[in-house]
Structure 1
């Protein structure tokens, strides 16, 4: 016998309904970075997805009201960083509005194509942006992987129930 959803408690589609449902969806945590005319920009993303193996492509969502959007809307390349469970504070810094994301204690360097690369991550990619697809108040960015490094050590950071956490065994 299969369980059926309780139709008495269902709610009409709304931003709050979507947030409530996705709080229950555990997602990996990444930081997306780019170079702007005034310096590096970046934000925490839980929307990172592998799109294609051939050619290797990824996607992520970014709000058009986000402080990083002006740079992401015009840049040719982005950095994608997979965070480890030891990087909860880094994830929080890049998620916080108005934070000095690239100031101490963040450790980073300029990478290929001028992309800011964060140190100590589990893995990173440099990607060439190929499309920005309108999606409500966001854009879905499609980007082709040009190079990367998967050799970082540690366990992944995840986002669940509105907080950053590690995986449990």
Structure 2
């Protein structure tokens, strides 16, 4: 059995422990978008997961205290965008609180179901939200993939050790 002194600096069961552990987990980077009452909203997510092939479904976590949550809570559709290595700044913009996420530096267009679609991504989907599951200070959103485009070029953007990075060969 591991003694408490061997657990490092993170308190057992603390948010700090979870963050410390997941800093070791390399994750793909996605941007989730939706149409809000005041226009497009979005955030950077590393919690994207495939849920089901038939019907095609995915999930992601969203903070209920974040600026994007009201639009996702009220809306029926979301956009899910997989980012490439060339989009580190875009990922940082959508992760930064108070940033002008859909300003002049962000190339995007209105897509099906009114979902904002980002340009030049590796892949995108438009999804219909089917469930919002409470999970602490977040909700796990389960969404059915309706349509999309997997034909973007490039290599995936990853999040590891608290920073955006690319694959190494």
TM above 0.5, yes or no, is yes
Match of residue 137 from structure 2: 137
- CA deviations on 1:112-168 (whole Å, 9 max, x unpaired) are 000000000000000000000000000000000000000000000000000000000
- CA deviations on 1:12-55 (whole Å, 9 max, x unpaired) are 11000000000110000000000011100000000000000000
Q: CA deviation at 1:5?
A: 6.6
- CA deviations on 1:62-95 (whole Å, 9 max, x unpaired) are 0000010000101100000000000000000000
Match of residue 102 from structure 1: 102
Match of residue 112 from structure 1: 112
Give TM-score, length-normalised by structure 1.
Answer: 0.95
Match of residue 124 from structure 1: 124
RMSD: 1.2
Match of residue 53 from structure 2: 53
What is the alpha-carbon distance in structure 1 between the residues aligned to residue 111 and residue 96 of structure 2? 24
Match of residue 40 from structure 2: 40
1:1-169 correspondence to structure 2 within 5 Å: 8-10=5-7, 11-169=11-169
What is the alpha-carbon distance in structure 2 between the residues aligned to residue 155 and residue 5 of structure 1? 40
Hey, which bits of structure 1, 4+ residues long, moved more than 3 A? 4-8
Q: CA deviation at 1:6?
A: 7.3
| Unmatched segments (≥5 aa) in structure 2 | none
| Unmatched segments (≥5 aa) in structure 1 | none
- Count residues with an aligned counterpart: 166
What is the alpha-carbon distance in structure 2 between the residues aligned to residue 6 and residue 120 of structure 1? 49
What is the alpha-carbon distance in structure 1 between the residues aligned to residue 160 and residue 146 of structure 2? 30
Give TM-score, length-normalised by structure 2.
Answer: 0.95
